[in-house]
């Protein structure tokens, strides 16, 4: 069964409010970078509450709210297998094309990746892989697509917002190579964010807006970089 298609006029207010929330939140990130626990509040719970309250005014339920972001019990497996294969392929490609491949390869050759990769993947599935997909694909992209009657336009714009979201992290976070360099931070965040957003947005739409599919791909793409941080963080 396909995802429900709400009336564009019914979600226009949702779109205006969540986009306003995004830019307010983005300004906050330039003052304070959040940890993964706070992301659950800022990217999941608060947006969920906003959408639920707006939908409740027209008789909506929390189940319907979750369904509107792509968490539907009747179709959570839709596209999951090919999405997982895509994520594994993109993750493996980083071993060859990434500028951080020199960090990945020794862990693979030594066999440490056999336990570091699953740990990193599990961590991402519960943190950034889910929280970022919930907000950007589940909340923003769905509402853009409904209001504009264009899935392609929604993917493009959401990808740009996804890139903007990463700028404060690219500049202030010491784990980013662009740390402390505005030009590098902007180009790195926008480049990675837009490309990643296009891939994840396409996965989300291709899987009939199944949020779990894009969460899996997101987590697999980021698992190798996260794996190195776990290793080096642990000494």
- DSSP H helical ranges for 3-112: 8-29, 36-39, 46-56, 62-68, 80-97, 101-110
Of the pLDDT bands very low, low, confident and very high (cuts 50, 70, 90), residue 3 is very low
Answer with the residue of higher pLDDT: 175 or 52: 52
Residue 180 lies in a domain: yes
Q: Which residues span the domain enclosing 71? A: 8-233
Read off the pLDDT of residues 58-76 as tens digits, 9 standing for 90 and up: 888 999 999 999 999 998 9
Residue 3 lies in a domain: no
- Percent of the chain past pLDDT 90, that is, above it, reads 74
Of the pLDDT bands very low, low, confident and very high (cuts 50, 70, 90), residue 227 is confident
Report the domain count for the chain: 1
Residue 1 lies in a domain: no
Transcribe 169-231 into DSSP letters.
Answer: HHHH-TTSTTTT-HHHHHHHHHHHHHHHHHHHHHHHHHTTS-HHHHHHHHHHHHHHHHHHHHH
Read off the pLDDT of residues 5-34 as tens digits, 9 standing for 90 and up: 566 677 899 999 999 999 999 999 999 989
Residue 190 lies in a domain: yes
In this predicted structure, the answer to whether residue 4 has a pLDDT above a threshold of 60 is no
Q: Global pTM?
A: 0.92
Q: Which two tokens stand for residue 207?
A: 């899987």
Residue 18 lies in a domain: yes
**Among 119, 137, 139, CA closest to 45:** 139
Residue 122 lies in a domain: yes
Of the pLDDT bands very low, low, confident and very high (cuts 50, 70, 90), residue 46 is very high
Residue 68 lies in a domain: yes
């Amino acid at each position: 069964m396909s995802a429900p298609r709400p009336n564009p006029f019914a979600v226009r207010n949702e779109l205006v409010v969540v986009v306003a929330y995004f830019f307010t939140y983005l300004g906050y990130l330039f003052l304070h970078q959040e940890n993964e626990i706070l992301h659950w509040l800022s990217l999941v719970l608060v947006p969920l509450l906003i959408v639920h309250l707006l939908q409740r005014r027209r008789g909506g339920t929390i189940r319907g709210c979750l369904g509107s972001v792509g968490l539907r019990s009747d179709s959570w497996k839709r596209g999951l297998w090919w999405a997982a294969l895509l994520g594994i392929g993109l993750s493996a490609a980083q071993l060859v094309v990434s500028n951080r491949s020199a960090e990945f390869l020794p862990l693979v050759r030594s066999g440490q990746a056999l336990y570091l990769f699953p740990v990193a993947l599990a961590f991402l599935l519960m943190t950034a892989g889910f929280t970022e997909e919930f907000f950007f694909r589940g909340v923003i992209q769905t509402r853009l697509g409904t209001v504009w009657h264009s899935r392609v336009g929604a993917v493009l714009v959401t990808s740009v917002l996804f890139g903007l979201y990463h700028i404060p992290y690219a500049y202030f976070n010491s784990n980013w190579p662009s740390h402390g360099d505005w030009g590098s931070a902007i180009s790195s965040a926008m480049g990675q964010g837009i490309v990643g957003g296009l891939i994840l947005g396409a996965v989300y739409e291709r899987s009939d807006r199944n949020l779990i599919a894009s969460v899996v791909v997101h987590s697999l793409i980021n698992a190798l970089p996260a794996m190195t941080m776990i290793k080096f963080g642990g000494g």
